Amino acid sequence: MSSVMSERPQDAPQDIPQSMTTPTTGKEPGQRPELLEVQDLHVWFELKRFGFLHAGYVQAVDGVNFTLREQGAIGIVGESGCGKTTLMKTILGINRPIKGKIIFEGEDLGGLTSRDLQSYRGKVGYVQQDPYGALPPFMTVENILAEPMIIAGITDPQEHEQRIRDVLTEVKMTPVENFLTKFPHMLSGGQQQRIVIARAMILNPRLIVADEPVSMLDASVRVEILRLLERLQETHDLAVIYITHDLSTVRYFSDHIFVMYAGKLVERAEVNSLLRNPLHPYTQALLEATPDPDYKNALTHKELPPGEPPSLVNPPSACRFHPRCPYKIEGLCEVQLPPDFEPEPNHFAACWLYR
């Protein structure tokens, strides 16, 4: 299969001098250079009354820190309204943070002009949640895939054709001729999602941000799409941020899971360590609530925290999970914001239980 990114050497990450690396195994992304760094990110939206009076902020993302290394794959898990989509849009340069930095390949996103941002977006592919909504209904597959190249200033029609062919082959839409002239409504949900992925890949990005890429698809094609993303990640040395509410698909796809609750990352860990030993009470509840198919589920009740995620306009003080938390420590959890504790190596939890 011809590769869209064949000009990049496959063994690039091995070129890093040993002194820079942490002593881990070969496949650990710890060896690789940093691609994306998010520092103390705050994305707040101002609420206005009568269109001009200040009426508070929606604190959608509040103090998020993480580092993504090249070829790393992180899954951000959280419920709707926890700020995961805002975080993603900020990484894509659509929302502007009110505080904090996003550093991509050593460059601060905040300092970029809109022209620079355009070239930045060529390096970051975006896979939307609802493939049908994300594809313009009046454009053919060929035009949809050519659009990013036109915007990026690639004018050679031969290169257009070559890239479209390569990328369609890679997302297994073959024979390519059958699909070039199709409109999105002529494709099945799985095929539409492949086109969305192809569009995200066509400018050879370094990072793919996938926002619930399989939640609108049938069970039988979900795994296929996830496998496809996994393969693209391997063949193109991509880094991936996979945003979802479904813990069960994350484990097959990411090497790290970040759990987000009410605008904050409450737990960060390597996949197996998080699934085997969830530390934060919220993560524990999420794991408890996610079922595996088993007839015994019908016989038992689940123990779950009461209530619902808080409003981000007026979030609870300090630890935002404290009103629902079964292990709340009086006089501490509602007073002081828990920092990230590290009870196990590389397993962080923002919870006073681990002080």
Partner 1 sequence: MSENNTLLRVEDLRLYFRTRQGTVQAVDGVDLELKENEAMVILGESGCGKTSLSRAILRLLPNNVETYSGKIFLEGLDTMELNDERFRRQIRWFKMSMVPQAAMNALNPVIKVGEQVAEPLLVHKKAEKQEALEQAAWMFEQVGVPTDFLNRYAFELSGGMRQRVALAMALITLPALVFLDEPTSALDVLTQANIFNVLKDIKKELAVGFILITHDIATSSELADTVAVMYAGEIVEVSDARHFFTEPLHPYSRLLMASVPRLKVDQEPTFITGQPPSLINPPSGCRFAPRCPSVFQKCSEHPPTFQVDGRKVRCWLHA
Q: Side by side, which strands form the sheet with 239-244?
A: 124-127, 207-211, 239-244, 73-77, 256-261, 264-270, 347-349, 341-344
Query: Smallest distance from the beta carbon of 179 to partner 1, in angstroms?
Result: 14
User: Is 104 or 282 the residue whose CB approaches partner 1 more closely?
Assistant: 282
R_g over Cα of the chain: 21
Query: Smallest distance from the beta carbon of 297 to partner 1, in angstroms?
Result: 5
Closest CA to 195 of 183, 209, 207, 211: 183
Query: Smallest distance from the beta carbon of 103 to partner 1, in angstroms?
Result: 31
State how far the alpha carbon of 164 is from the alpha carbons of 72, 122, 139, 224, 307, in Å: 26, 15, 15, 21, 49
Query: Smallest distance from the beta carbon of 198 to partner 1, in angstroms?
Result: 19
The burial of 98, by beta-carbon neighbours within 10 Å (0-12 exposed, 13-18 middle, 19 or more buried), is given as middle
Query: Smallest distance from the beta carbon of 322 to partner 1, in angstroms?
Result: 16
For residue 69, count other CB atoms closer than 10 A to its CB.
20
User: Is 70 or 211 the residue whose CB approaches partner 1 more closely?
Assistant: 211
**What is the amino acid identity at position 296?**
K
User: Is 121 or 222 the residue whose CB approaches partner 1 more closely?
Assistant: 222
User: Is 202 or 225 the residue whose CB approaches partner 1 more closely?
Assistant: 225
User: Is 24 or 272 the residue whose CB approaches partner 1 more closely?
Assistant: 272
User: Is 115 or 301 the residue whose CB approaches partner 1 more closely?
Assistant: 301
DSSP H stretches of helix in the chain: 84-91, 114-123, 131-134, 141-152, 157-170, 176-180, 189-201, 219-236, 247-250, 271-276, 281-289
Query: Smallest distance from the beta carbon of 256 to partner 1, in angstroms?
Result: 16
- Beta carbons of 350 and 280 less than 8 angstroms apart: yes
User: 104: which strand partners?
Assistant: 36, 107
User: Is 49 or 276 the residue whose CB approaches partner 1 more closely?
Assistant: 276
Q: Which residues sit at the interface with partner 1, rule CB under 8 A?
A: 79-80, 188-190, 218-224, 227, 245-249, 251-252, 275, 285-295, 297-298, 301-302, 304-305, 308-309
User: How far apart, in whole angstroms, are the C-alpha atoms of residue 26 and residue 96?
Assistant: 37
Query: Smallest distance from the beta carbon of 189 to partner 1, in angstroms?
Result: 7
